[in-house]
Structure 1
Amino acid sequence: MTLNEMNDRIVRYGELIPCKTAFIDAHTPGSDRKENFTIIGGGVSESTDQHVHISIPHGFNIGAAGQPPKCRNSLHSHRTAEVFFVLSGRWRFFWGRYGTAGEVVLEEGDIINIPTGIFRGFENIGTDYGMIMAVLGGDDAGGGVIWAPEVIQDAADHGLVLGANGKLYDIKKGQALPDGITPMPVLTEAELKAYPEPTTGDVVPRHVARYWDMVALGDRKPALVIGEKAMLPDKPGFEVHLVTRGSATADMHKHDIPSVLMPMHGHWTVTWETEGTAHNVVLNPGDTMSVPEGVMHSVLPSMTGEASLFHIVATSDGAGTTWKG
């Protein structure tokens, strides 16, 4: 793996390409200023404008949402796992049929593993532009987003229609549903009753990990944050580890499947070997690197000071916890 080939598998934070028309609420006031990013995999964007940085299958998708203060992501659900960690800003996550069943505020570095089968949304409640990074289960991320009925109606009132094919059509731009394509069906009242209403007390202890708790557990070996025997026990089809300065090692190692490195704090040097020749690159907070399978490599902090990095690797298990109370 040459330096140029490896650079093709690094997405720098400053080079992320946003899509401002990714989802059905792109024109809805309060949600119309958000930016969506698809970093690895096809993601769940409903827009043909969405740029995909790395299309190589990993068994999961990596994306991000960037939002200015008071900007909200509308209520929706997924069929596979949806995990967020806060790269910057202060964020309120809320859930339930009307977003009132429970909520939690996350700070930088905190992580939430949102169960499948419940409506959820989030908003930037900080004072600056904020960014959250997302991991979605599966290569196809479950086939798209399931929207609360009022989100679909609000979107139609502002000129956006979602087709049953999962694609958006902007009436303001003169677009219309193609022949044979009907609007995305709205969930019926009977179907909506199947969506649970867990409280804050139900969700937070089992699905939220605070950054400094992860750092403490990752002081001597990487903290397994999400996985079968993790801080947040689950089998979403991938594992998430937090590596700190204390748990980083210079030992060269490899994986038999691609893995992903996402620095949270500090600068990290990734070293790998190709036919006996060592190469290295430095990753910064917000960067995302896909390490190919079979490549011997090590990851170490480059400078003094706080250093932490999320490591994600696919597993052979399912799509994650479906909320059952």
Structure 2
Amino acid sequence: MQISQTEMEKRIVRYGELKPCRTAFIDAHTPGSNQKENFTIIGGGVSESADQHVHIKDTPGFNIGAAGQPPKCRNSLHSHRTAEVFFVLKGRWRFFWGRWGNAGEVVLEEGDIFNIPTGIFRGFENIGTDYGMIMAILGGDDAGGGVIWAPQVIEDARDHGLVLGENGKLYDTKKGQSLPDGIKPMPLLTEEELKAFPETPVQEVVRDYVARYWDLMALAQKAPAKVIGEKALLRDKPGFEVELLTRGSIPEAAYVNERHEVLMVMRGHWELAWDGGASVLAPGDTCAVPPGLQHSLVPAMTGEASLYRVVATGEKAGRTWRG
């Protein structure tokens, strides 16, 4: 298999070329959340707005996205039917969860990764001093069918002019928009339905779902650190596997992966070479490597170098697995 330089560059999304959407979700007008920027890098993501730009539309069995927020900006409580994994690219972030967001919280630093338990309400906030960015991996080609919002989020949004239709689309009453004929507002979850969303203890979350960057760097000195997978540090089968590679754990020779592979650079510059060309990936860049392509990775500079490698497993994305 061979791919030209031009074709492969179309499969690389540069950090500096990311196109944000500021109206992606229902809390886009809600004070405290109205400065969010959402990015859809690979796949359609879960945006509720037609304004969302999609960089690479084809999905490899999962979606890649990102969220950028200034200090003190937060993302409102929501849930997903499939996996949602974040790693911190820039800044310092507080993740919180539960029906009211007070069941527990954890603070993540740059490089830390969080495999958020499926089926719980979760939110996050930039608690750093500068603009921050977190990268996201969402399970499934359709990212689990959208977002499930805590009832108070929908009510707050309505008070600030945004209405979510039962079709999963947003309508901005401040712009004169209204629900189309035959489309009703998204119904609020009932108290009975809310009982299905667990209040996961903080000790369990920190133990089973969070991996710290410098721990992974130590594990990846001679071989890739298996971060998420059936036999990984965070044992799970979300439809994809995640590894951390560093300078000491890169493959010694070019290799071929018969499954979809996505490279997400955390630190340093990496030279990606393939049968047909070569390119340098920088921090924040995302590259979708097609199955069957022989390729190699080499740090292009001295100093710290790390990247997350995400590989599709072919399994149907589902609820978090424990065993």
TM-score, normalising length: structure 2: 0.97
State the distance in 2 between where 1:45 and 1:213 align: 33
State the distance in 1 between where 2:123 and 2:321 align: 16
Q: In percent, how many aligned pairs have the same letter?
A: 73
Q: SS of the residue aligned with 1:24?
A: coil
Q: 2:21 aligns with which of 16, 19, 22?
A: 19
Q: Is the 8 A contact 1:234 1:320 kept in 2?
A: no
Q: Is the 8 A contact 1:37 1:64 kept in 2?
A: yes
Q: Which runs of 4+ in 1 moved over 2 A?
A: 316-324
Shift of 1:193: 1.2
Matches within 5 A, 1:157-196: 157-196=159-198
Shift of 1:256: 1.6
Q: SS of the residue aligned with 1:249?
A: coil
Matches within 5 A, 1:4-83: 4-83=6-85
Q: Is the 8 A contact 1:117 1:323 kept in 2?
A: no
Match of 1:215 in 2: 217
Shift of 1:254: 1.2
User: What RMSD, in angstroms, separates the aligned Cα atoms of the two structures?
Assistant: 1.1
Letter matched to residue 287 of structure 2: M
Match of 1:114 in 2: 116
Q: SS of the residue aligned with 1:26?
A: coil
The answer to whether residue 312 in structure 2 is matched with residue 314 in structure 1 is yes
Gaps of 5+ in 1: none
Shift of 1:323: 8.4
Gaps of 5+ in 2: none
State the distance in 2 between where 1:320 and 1:220 align: 32
Q: 1:155 aligns with which of 131, 154, 157?
A: 157
State the distance in 2 between where 1:268 and 1:322 align: 32
TM-score, normalising length: structure 1: 0.97
State the distance in 2 between where 1:314 and 1:306 align: 27
Q: Is the 8 A contact 1:234 1:321 kept in 2?
A: no
Q: SS of the residue aligned with 1:6?
A: helix
Q: Is the 8 A contact 1:244 1:308 kept in 2?
A: yes
Shift of 1:115: 1.0
Q: SS of the residue aligned with 1:306?
A: coil
State the distance in 1 between where 2:279 and 2:206 align: 37
**For residues 136-181 of structure 1, what are the alpha-carbon distances to aligned partners after superposition, in whole Å with 9 as ceiling and x for unaligned?**
0000011100000000000000000000000000000000000000
Q: SS of the residue aligned with 1:136?
A: strand
Shift of 1:249: 2.7
Aligned length: 320
